[in-house]
Amino acid sequence: MIRRVRLDNWRAYRHLDLAVEPGVTFLVAPNGVGKSSLLEAVRWALSPGDLVDDPTVIRHGHTDAAAEVTVASESGELDVRRVLTLRGSRAVSSLEATLNGRKLPEAEFRRFLADAWSADLRFISRTAFLTEDLRIEQDEPDLRSHLCSVYSLDELQRALQEIVPALGRASRGVRAARAELTASAAELNAAREDRARLDDLLETARSEVIEARERHADAQRAAERASAANELRAAAAVWADQSAALRREIEELAGSPTGDAPLTGVLSQAKLSVRSEVESARAEQARLTARLESIEEALARLQEAGGQCPVCLRELDDQSRGTAEHLHSQGLVEIRERLQGIDPGPFLERLNRIETLERRATALGERPNPEDAGDFDVLSGESAAALARLERAAAALRELEISVQAADEKIERISGEIAEAELLKRRYREVALLEAAEKALNITIGSVLGEQLEPLVLETNRRWQSVFPDRPNLKLMPDGTMSRDVGGGELSFGAFSAGEKVVAKLMLRLTTLLLTTRVPFCWVDEPLEHLDPRSRHLVGSMLAHLSGAAGLEQIFVTTYEEPLARRLAEFQPGRVRVEYLRTEHVS
């Protein structure tokens, strides 16, 4: 695991000394500060001879740049320091590596890490790191060569490469000397015919295994659909309970039953009615207030006019003026009493309750509508039965493979018996051996890689589908190339979206590291950049949880997504942390 990184005069960094903890670290910084440069430097330091020595990484005004990485291993602490020095227009690098204080030559340093991490450094450089240049490249790490190395198939691979031209030469010799065919070749031909017959049976058995696997997959998917339908039915029951409770509240407020009318419609009508009552009350208040002000004004003018009518200016006696003032005062009392009796407050309170219920009805949404996907128990039983058929077909295929191996051994034995015969017989034997060897090697390599690649494919697909559940069937070839099924056709990796490419490359690397190496870390440069918000959250959460996976002790992620990083750190304190790379680090 990487413990510390030190940089001198590397791109924007004058000096950087960064301690790295186990678990998940999100290094947060704005674009342009140097997050990508940091990963580039660490990858370059751990890959002597595998990456180009780029003179542009040297900070302007300086003649050299250095990247130093401290790695913790079971054998102790390994310090690696690589220095890039300008010599004219060229850049030359040098390496200093020490293990517990003892200097290691470069070859021993490479062997040490390859043994410790169960992979060669070139493969580690392209797998344990996901930088910008690796994201834009179409090819993936040489997974076939790595798996051959992991499962001790290197010698078989080299032997296969030598057999092909030798088989071509031997076949040409057989054709040239066919006229010398003798009776002893009949037995060899019969063995070859028996081998060909087995090939036909083997092809049929393989087809049956493929068919059984597809039927099992179909049955499993049907069971999963039934399980999902059960969950929807449960959700529909919950919805029904909540809807009934809400309807009871609405009926209590409305004072009348609603029947089966849609809740939103009932509430909308009720809201219109209450709003009309509020507006009527307010209009009546305004009219009475205006009337009140008019009477008060008339009374004031009457009192100010003395003995004259303020309207016609005729003389008023005391009785007429008193009567007029009494009538005005009486009108004021009546209007004030009527104003006190008008209060829109209860209507407004009721309107608020209606709007609250309306929001709840909107939040409740439509009733879940589960489809009839069949009985889960029945479909689970069918899935188990399909699995049993698949296992029987696989066992039959294995028996045929053993028979094929026995047939190959028979061909070799017959060929050995006639080894001292004429030239044609010797050449026939050579061809048979080479053909058998080529096929056996291909079968062995293909069988081993296929068996070991299958869990890698399944795990990569599982992680892929956690982010893109609507885009299943990610395919992985032994050479590391990827594609996926789309509408019955195959979509090449080059046609993936930018976000799909990032996720696919990231999932393959994480799964490969976990299942086929002992590399304890993975450093990723801005994996969330090309993703939508939901996918960012899913990928970030997956990375945060992976620190607990056996064998992967450290995940280091650069990002500018500070809020997401902080949320993940809050959910998993102690295992997920946020580091900030600010401008003072690069001054």
How do residues 489-514 score in pLDDT, each as one tens digit? Answer: 888 888 888 888 888 888 888 888 88
pLDDT attached to residue 263: 76
Mean predicted confidence (pLDDT) in 386-399:
90
From the centroid of its chain, how far is CA 400? 40
Largest CA distance in the chain: 160
From the centroid of its chain, how far is CA 424? 60
Give the Cα separation of 28 and 129 in Å (integer): 18
DSSP for 523-585, please give it: EEE-TTTTS-HHHHHHHHHHHHHHTTSTT--EEEEEES-HHHHHHHHHHSTTTEEEEE--GGG
Tell whether pTM > 0.85.
no
Give the Cα separation of 484 and 506 in Å (integer): 16
From the centroid of its chain, how far is CA 454? 19
Give the Cα separation of 71 and 121 in Å (integer): 14
The tokens describing 15, both together, are 């000096």
Nearest one of 556, 582, 476 to 33, comparing CA atoms: 582
Model confidence pLDDT, tens digit, residues 341-382: 787 788 788 778 878 877 887 887 888 887 777 787 888 888
The tokens describing 438, both together, are 């080529």
Phi and psi of 382, rounded to 5°?
A: -65, -35
Contact residues for 567 (Cβ-Cβ < 8 A; gap 6+): none
In the CATH scheme, what is the code of domain 2-141+480-575+577-581?
Answer: 3.40.50.300
Q: Where are the domains of the chain?
A: 2-141+480-575+577-581, 156-235+372-453, 264-361
Give the Cα separation of 81 and 106 in Å (integer): 11
In the CATH scheme, what is the code of domain 264-361?
Answer: 1.10.287.510
Quote the DSSP letter at residue 315. Answer: B
**Whether 266 contacts 251, CB under 8 Å:** no
Contact residues for 555 (Cβ-Cβ < 8 A; gap 6+): 23, 24, 25, 521, 522, 523, 524, 543, 546, 547
**For residue 504, which amino acid is it?**
A
Rounded alpha-carbon distances, angstroms, from residue 577 to 19, 20, 34, 319: 13, 10, 19, 94
**For residue 492, which amino acid is it?**
S
Which residue in this structure is represented by tokens 């696989």?
394
pLDDT attached to residue 421: 46
In our burial notation (b when 16+ CB lie closer than 10 A, e otherwise), range 233-262 reads eeeeeebeeeeeebbeebeebbeeebeeee
Give the Cα separation of 74 and 201 in Å (integer): 51
Model confidence at 152: pLDDT above 60 = no
Cα–Cα–Cα angle for 187, 190, 194, rounded to 5 degrees: 140
Out of 362-376, 434-448, 519-533, 542-556, give the one with best mean pLDDT: 519-533
pLDDT attached to residue 108: 94
Tell which wins on pLDDT, 450 or 498: 498
Poorest-confidence range of 223-227, 247-251, 523-527, 580-584?
580-584
Judged on CB neighbours under 10 Å (0-12, 13-18, 19+), 365 is exposed
